[in-house]
Amino acid sequence: MTISVVLVTGMSGAGRSTATRALEDVGWFVVDNLPPTLMSQTVELLSQPSTNTKIALVADVRGGKLFDELQASIDELKSAGHDVRVLFLEAGNEVLVRRYESSRRPHPLQKNDNILAAVERERALLGDLRGDADLIIDTSNLNVHDLRRAIEDAFDDEENVALRATIMSFGFKYGIPVDADMVADMRFLPNPHWNDEMREQTGLNEAVNDFVLGHKEAQEFLDHYAQLVSIVEDGYIREGKRFVTIALGCTGGKHRSVAMVENLAARLAKIGVEVRIQHRDLGRE
Total residues belonging to the chain: 285
pLDDT (mean) for 65-70: 66
The answer on 170 and 144 residing in a single domain is no
Could you give the CA distance from residue 227 to residue 229 in angstroms, rounded to a whole number? 5
For residues 197-226, b (16+ Cβ closer than 10 Å) or e, as one string?
ebeebbbebeebbebbbeeeebeebbeebb
Assess whether 95 and 130 both reside in one domain: yes
Same domain, 83 and 132: yes
**Pick from 145, 160, 175: which residue ends a domain?**
160
Confirm whether 284 is domain-assigned: no
Q: How far apart are CA 282 and CA 285, in angstroms?
A: 8
* Whether residue 48 is found in the same domain as residue 154: yes
Does 125 map to a domain? yes
pLDDT (tens digit per residue) in 112-149:
888 899 999 899 888 888 888 989 999 998 998 889 88
Of 160, 194, 225, the residue at which a domain comes to its end is 160
Residue 73 is part of a domain; what is its CATH number? 3.40.50.300
* Same-domain check for residues 12 and 129: yes
Task: Give yes or no: residues 140 and 71 share one domain.
Answer: yes
The verdict on 153 and 173 lying in the same domain is: no
Query: Partners of 237 in the beta sheet?
Result: none
Bigger pLDDT: 258 or 144?
258
- pTM of model > 0.75: no
**Torsional sign, CA 51, 56, 62, 66:** positive
Model confidence over 195-249: pLDDT tens digits?
999 999 999 999 999 999 999 999 999 999 999 999 998 888 777 677 899 999 9
pLDDT band at residue 179 using 50, 70 and 90 as cut-offs: confident
Q: Which of 23, 52, 56 is nearest to 39 (CA)?
A: 56
Range of the domain at 39: 4-160
Query: Is 91 among the domain residues?
Result: yes
